[in-house]
């Protein structure tokens, strides 16, 4: 069982798929290659949770069986209809097979949108239960399906216009099986190709989340990133309109820029919740364990206020961290403000620090201008009205990936809520105004700097 962060159960994990609250449990499917800790022929792995914190792996739910999906069951979504769980996904068939590695291809491929149903959310008939709902006519992918108040079903697919501009393609259906093409929206905000689009309502406002490919230059990091923006959506004409006047042209979903392919779902209390894939440039290898690559971020509640999208800590995560182990009045932390000449490294040598045991830890602090917090070699500092992180010391000798991240300008507010695990640190800034999530390797075992509260998780709590 995984706690807090769903991790690859050995080998490879990427995009979250089919995230749904169904018959009293949360189901999260994910892109899964079960044979090696690298990207390959896609299956759908499956995990289940009662509380979004404790996850139980259920094995592979979908795997290639048809002509249309013979080279992979790619990303998609889930919806409940008449008591059944319906999964929609993109099937891939390579036009030319790589003789050296049948699991990858740089050549052209055909796409189809397929659907498969389950009576209970656990058993899927891969050999006889799949059906094509939209034949492939162009490079469309990653169907997100939802039902509007008018009773109709809607589907948005990621696509590209001539490989030059990302686009969102909309279909509509009365029954969830027979679909009619409705419209297309293209924009430079979607990069050159849009992946994993997700359109949903928060209150009276529509929010679009998507993964825009080639949206930045690949200098010191990825060039494909998850973005979000408020939009208008006409359910009658299926017309998507981007806001021209907003606080930003678009926001990054996460400013650590390791996060990708987010997907949202409504939880048991009606909150809009997001989970996303954290990209890892190398596998985690430990003696006696199967190497694994890929994990999910913490579940985050999506809210919208004054033209800005917030990603807040989910209440289930709040409940899990219920044991306070240190505060500003205790002596097992090193307080940088109290020492004039000693450096952080000297404080480490003297043992004046909190100890990280490898269990999840939550750190809360309101930073002052110029302050720096050292979490086992991972640095968080306030600098010129930005919160910046530096993972250079705990990222290993990995070339071609950025080691420093930054929020936009913060206008004097630096409240941080930090979640630490051995391979992932997530920094929620100003109650989710921005989030920086960084994958790490080789994290040290001490915390140095001014800290207000440290909490540890309680594995016995279920929300």
The single-letter DSSP state of residue 393 is G
DSSP labels for 234-296?
ETTTTEEEE-SSSSSS-EES-TTS-EEEEEEEE-TTS-EEEEEEE--SS-B--TTS--EE-EE
15 classed as catalytic: yes
Catalytic residue (choose from 15, 51, 390, 417): 15
Query: Contacts by 308-313 with C-beta closer than 8 Å and gap 24+?
Result: 308/247, 308/248, 308/251, 308/433, 309/207, 309/228, 309/229, 309/230, 309/251, 310/431, 310/432, 310/433, 311/253, 311/254, 311/274, 311/428, 311/432, 311/435, 312/428, 312/431, 312/432, 313/417, 313/428, 313/432
Contacts 24+ apart (CB under 8 A), 297-301: 297/5, 297/254, 297/259, 297/424, 297/426, 297/437, 298/4, 298/5, 298/419, 298/426, 299/52, 299/273, 299/274, 299/275, 300/273, 300/274, 300/275, 300/432, 300/435, 301/271, 301/272, 301/273, 301/274, 301/432
Taking the CB of residue 126, how many other CB atoms lie within 10 A of it? Answer: 18
- With contact defined as beta carbons under 8 Å apart, do 447 and 356 qualify? yes
Q: DSSP secondary-structure letter at 112?
A: E
Residues marked active site are found at: 15
């Amino acid at each position: 069982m995984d706690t807090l962060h769903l991790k690859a159960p050995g080998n490879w994990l990427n995009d979250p798929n089919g995230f749904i609250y169904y018959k009293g449990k949360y189901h999260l499917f994910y892109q899964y290659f079960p044979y090696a800790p690298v990207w390959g022929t896609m299956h759908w792995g499956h995990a289940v949770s009662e509380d979004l914190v404790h996850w139980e792996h259920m094995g592979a739910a979908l795997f290639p069986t048809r002509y249309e999906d013979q080279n992979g069951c790619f990303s998609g979504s889930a919806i409940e209809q008449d008591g059944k769980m319906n999964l929609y996904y993109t099937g891939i068939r390579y036009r030319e097979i790589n003789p050296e590695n049948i699991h990858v291809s740089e050549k052209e491929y055909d796409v189809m949108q397929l659907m498969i149903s389950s009576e209970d959310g656990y058993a899927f008939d891969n050999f006889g239960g799949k059906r094509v709902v939209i034949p492939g006519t162009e490079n469309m992918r990653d169907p997100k399906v939802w039902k509007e108040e008018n009773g109709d079903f809607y589907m948005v697919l990621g696509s590209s216009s001539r490989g030059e501009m990302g686009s969102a393609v909309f279909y509509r259906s009365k029954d969830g099986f027979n679909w009619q093409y409705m419209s297309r929206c293209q924009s430079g905000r979607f990069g050159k190709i849009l992946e994993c689009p997700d359109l949903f309502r928060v209150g009276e406002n529509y929010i679009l989340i998507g993964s825009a490919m080639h949206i930045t230059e690949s200098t010191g990091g990825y060039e494909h990133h998850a973005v979000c923006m408020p939009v208008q959506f006409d359910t009658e004409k299926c017309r998507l309109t981007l806001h021209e006047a907003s606080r930003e042209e678009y926001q990054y979903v996460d400013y650590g820029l390791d996060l990708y392919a987010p997907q949202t779902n409504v939880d048991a209390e009606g909150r809009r919740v997001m989970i996303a894939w954290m990209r890892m440039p190398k596998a985690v290898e430990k003696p006696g364990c199967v190497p694994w690559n890929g994990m999910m971020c913490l579940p985050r509640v999506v809210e919208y206020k004054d033209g800005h999208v917030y990603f807040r800590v989910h209440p289930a995560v709040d409940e899990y961290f219920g044991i306070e182990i240190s505060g500003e009045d205790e002596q097992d932390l090193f307080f940088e403000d109290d020492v004039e000449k000693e450096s952080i490294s000297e404080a480490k040598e003297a043992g004046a620090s909190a100890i990280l045991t490898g269990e999840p830890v939550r750190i809360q602090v309101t930073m002052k201008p110029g302050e720096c917090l050292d979490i086992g070699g991972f640095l968080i500092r306030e600098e010129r009205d930005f919160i910046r992180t530096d993972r250079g010391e705990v990222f290993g000798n990995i070339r071609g990936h950025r080691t420093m991240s930054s929020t936009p300008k913060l206008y004097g507010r630096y409240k941080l809520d930090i979640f630490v695990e051995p391979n992932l640190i997530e920094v929620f800034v100003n109650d989710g105004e921005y989030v920086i999530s960084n994958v790490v390797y080789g994290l040290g075992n001490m915390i140095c700097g001014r800290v207000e509260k440290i909490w540890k998780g309680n594995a016995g709590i279920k929300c």
